[in-house]
Amino acid sequence: MKVFVIAEIGINHNGDLEIAKKLIDGAIFAGADAVKFQKRTVEKVYSKEELDKPRESPWGDTNRDQKYGLEFGKEEYDEIDKYCREKGVYWFASAWDLDSQKFLRQYNLKYNKIASAMLTHRELLEMVAEGKKHTFISTGMSTMEEIEKAVQIFKDANCPFELMHTNSTYPMKDEDANLKMIPVLREKFGCKVGYSGHEVGLITSVAAVALGATSVERHITLDRAMYGSDQAASVEIMGFYRLVRYIRTIEVALGDGKKKITAKEKEIKKKLRRVDTL
């Protein structure tokens, strides 16, 4: 089983297309299978009251300034689509509203993503499921009952999906990871289950693969000290490179679960086994 590795760029590009391209290049260098962004229609996702709140950022002094500063439009996504196709890497995005999902459809992407914050947005889930593209569904902040309802929408639409266990804190403490949920979700829903990590470090994501995670998503950044709410829970490029290497090593090391004596073991057996009276 090959674990599908997703480099979550999200909003760590800080509204700068050149930073986005550097992050795409870094993800490719590290061996990621895909890069992911986030798409919002700002005025639809946030209320006027929330957007009017004061907030200092590189783009101004209100929440609205910050949200618009971080948001890519058609010109930027046209370039991202072209760049990723030229580089030979998949890209997709999590839509945070219906208009954003409609916007993403123009790019004929192979994958969709339901963010944890959107798991209870029935109309959005139904719209995504209509597309019948493989969809990663993050389960942070959700009850088993809510997950079950979301899963049913995709099953009813005959849309392929994959749950992603996650804890939606940034950064997440290791003791909050609850990785044993991966086999629990797999058993309950009879589907693939991946892991979306927001922890500092790599070991928890590596452990998720050992527990059978079929995909791993981590936020990446050029520098964890950069401006942005997700930067501290992100992995810098060389760290992400190591993570992918660890994941690929575990894939090989897990084997097939069938007891066998390897060719090398047979050689050692001739030297070490002295008594065989069974």
Cβ 228 vs Cβ 12: under 8 Å: yes
Mean pLDDT value across the chain: 97
What value does the mean pLDDT take over residues 27-42?
98
CA distance 106 to 199: 33
Nearest to 241 by CA among 2, 21, 28: 28
- 206-236 confidence digits (pLDDT tens): 999 999 999 999 999 999 999 999 999 999 9
pTM tops 0.75: yes
Domain boundaries, the chain: 4-272
pLDDT of residue 104: 98
Nearest to 9 by CA among 113, 143, 165: 113
- 89-126 confidence digits (pLDDT tens): 999 999 999 999 999 999 999 999 999 999 999 999 99
pLDDT of residue 181: 98
pLDDT of residue 260: 95
Helical pair 203-210 and 237-254, crossing angle rounded to 10 deg: 20
What value does the mean pLDDT take over residues 187-192?
98
Cα-based torsion angle of the residue sequence 15, 21, 25, 28 in order, rounded to the nearest 10 degrees: 80
Residue indicated by tokens 């009017």 = 52
What value does the mean pLDDT take over residues 1-8?
95
Domain 4-272 CATH assignment equals 3.20.20.70? yes
| 1 has pLDDT over 90 | no
